[in-house]
Amino acid sequence: MKGKNMDVQKLLEWLKKYDLTELTIKDGGYQVTLKREGQPAAFPHQSLPGIDEAVAAADGTCEPVASAAEPEDAPDKPELHEVKAPLVGTFYRAPAPDAAPFIEEGDRVEVNDKLCIVEAMKIMNEIESPVRGIVREICARNGATVEFGQVLFRIEEPS
């Protein structure tokens, strides 16, 4: 394997870019194992030989195309928890067209409070808050398509 084609630096970048928590590469027999947020995914056909072993962990973020202009980790802001879309679908802020939104910016939320609905395949998927805190930003428009990994909310956790 050529060092310039796939070095450890590169692997670390991929780890970070795709939120991988674990990556194992072996040369003999060409095995690759990737783990991501607890879900194992094996690629038996993929071969990346040349590095005897590389195990690393990183915690990166996924930034969707649609929100490229949004500020991220601005120095004057406290650390915000990003709630991302776990599936592709249509984003709804309220349980029904004529109902009030689940939350507004500035609202306090507890863990498992409902934040929104992402409709996919005629199924209304309720998205719950994974943290306790104050909703600082609602990042998607009501009725808009959200893609996988898109940031939907930014929540300020109590420090």
Partner 1 sequence: MIRKLLVANRGEIAVRVIRAARELGIQTVGVFSEADRDALFVRYADQSVCIGPPPLSDSYLFYQNILAAAQSTGADAIHPGYGFLAENASFAEACRALDLTFIGPAPQAIRKMGDKATAKRLMKEAGVPTVPGSEGVLGSLAEARTLAAEIGYPVVIKATAGGGGRGMRIVGDGGELENAFHAAVNEAQQAFGDSGVYLEKFIQDPKHIEIQVLGDKHGQVVHLFERDCSIQRRYQKLLEEAPSPVLTEATRAAMGEIAVTAARSVRYDSAGTIEFIYDGRSRQFFFIEMNTRIQVEHPVTEMITGVDLLQWQIRVAAGERLPLRQEEIVRRGHAIECRINAEDPQKGFLPQTGTLSQYIVPGGPGVRVDSGVYPGYAIPPFYDSLLAKLVVWGETRKDAVLRLQRALDEFIIEGVATTIPFHQRIVRHPEFHRGAYTTDFIRRITAEEVANAC
C-alpha–C-alpha distance, residues 103 and 59, integer Å: 28
Residues 93-122 that bind partner 1 (CB under 8 A): 119-121
Given 16, 18, 51, 58, the residue binding partner 1 (CB under 8 A)? 18
* Residue 21 in the binding site for partner 1 (CB under 8 A): no
Given 12, 51, 58, 87, the residue binding partner 1 (CB under 8 A)? 87
Cβ 120 to partner 1 shortest distance, Å:
4
C-alpha–C-alpha distance, residues 58 and 31, integer Å: 21
DSSP 6-67: S-HHHHHHHHHHTTEEEEEEETTTTEEEEEETTEEEE-TT---TT-S------------GGG
Write out the residues near partner 1 by the rule CB under 8 A: 1-2, 4-6, 10, 14, 17-19, 32, 34, 36, 39, 41, 43, 46-49, 62, 64-65, 87-90, 119-121, 145, 147-150
